[in-house]
Amino acid sequence: MDYVNPKEVASTMMSAALAKSSLSVKDLLVRGCLSGALLAISVCLAFFATTQTSFSLAGAIIFPVGFIMIVILGLELVTGSFSLVPLAYMEKKISLKTMVRSLFWVFVGNLIGSVFFAILYWAAVSETGTVDALGGVEQMIIATSEKKTIGYAQNGAAGLFTAFVKAILCNWMVCMGVVMAMTSKSTLGKIAAAGIPIFMFFALGYEHAVVNMFVIPAGMMFGADVSIGDWWLYNQLIVTLGNIVGGLLFTGMAIYYTFRTKEGSLPLVSK
């Protein structure tokens, strides 16, 4: 049978958490960099589909391809790890130091990969700054970058709280994609199961920390009226916090503690 029942999924979630937390810094960085770049490419492709078709859902239909590649290849996306790695700490199977180390280096890897692709994309489109004319995708990147930062800042605390709530809702769905992929043993099943929640979050315009690691700096490179301080203070930090809350509470803990089978206590696997 291709289908994996929820009790088996809960066990797989813990196995995945332990596997992620045991990776070396090199592997966390390499897999994190690849994930950041793949998600950035997906954003460009989604924006291209939207601008070419004038159909807003076209981008949401296309966007999951990058996430699916990440899942199938077993790469590292920090937003997905937010729902899994802390579970291993809560169950006393890894230390706090190990949990923080895993999440930190994946975050750094995602950031490096996202910004690196942003630089490559800017260089390719603008011919390294020698061409000023911007296409529809680049204009959409600029508008999105400004909306995600100074757009929230203009509304003060209400704007920042909105970004936080959108981040919670986003990673609830993203982590559902991570867990849903575990419900199938086949590649096609994983593609379908993982893609549905990702389509939902992108279509609804929620806030994803790793997507923003590309969109906002790319917008800055193309001339968006956004500073590095705007990026981090009005979006990146608060969205990351919201992603942690949404992914861990509404997906990781909810599904794991509902379906887990009681096991004997396992020893601490790393310090």
In this prediction, residue 129 carries a pLDDT of: 87
Please tell me the predicted confidence (pLDDT) of residue 267: 44
For residue 1, pLDDT beyond 70? no
CATH classification code of 6-126+135-259: 1.20.1080.10
* DSSP code per residue over 30-52: HHHHHHHHHHHHHHHHHHHHHHH
Q: Hey, what amino acid is at 36?
A: G
Distance between CA atoms of residues 30 and 19, nearest Å: 16
pLDDT of residue 162: 98
Q: Residues 149-196: pLDDT tens digits? A: 999 999 999 999 999 999 999 999 999 999 999 999 999 999 999 999
Confidence of residue 265 (pLDDT cuts 50, 70, 90): very low
Q: Taking residues 93-105, report their average pLDDT.
A: 98
If we measure between CA atoms, which residue out of 91, 92, 106, 88 comes closest to residue 23?
A: 106
**Tens digits of per-residue pLDDT, 117-145?**
999 999 999 999 888 878 999 999 999 99
| Domain coordinates in residue numbering, the chain | 6-126+135-259
Count of beta carbons in the 10 Å neighbourhood of residue 7: 12
User: What is the predicted pLDDT for the residue at 264?
Assistant: 40
Residues 6+ apart with CB under 8 A from 35: 70, 75, 76, 77, 109, 110, 113, 210
52-66 pLDDT, tens per residue?
A: 998 989 999 999 999
Per-residue pLDDT for 212 more than 60?
yes
% of the chain residues with pLDDT over 90: 92
Looking at residue 263, what is its pLDDT? 55
Over 50: is that where the pLDDT of 10 sits? yes
pTM of the complete model: 0.94
- Name the token pair of 99: 């949990």
Q: What is the pLDDT of residue 229?
A: 98
Average pLDDT, the chain: 95
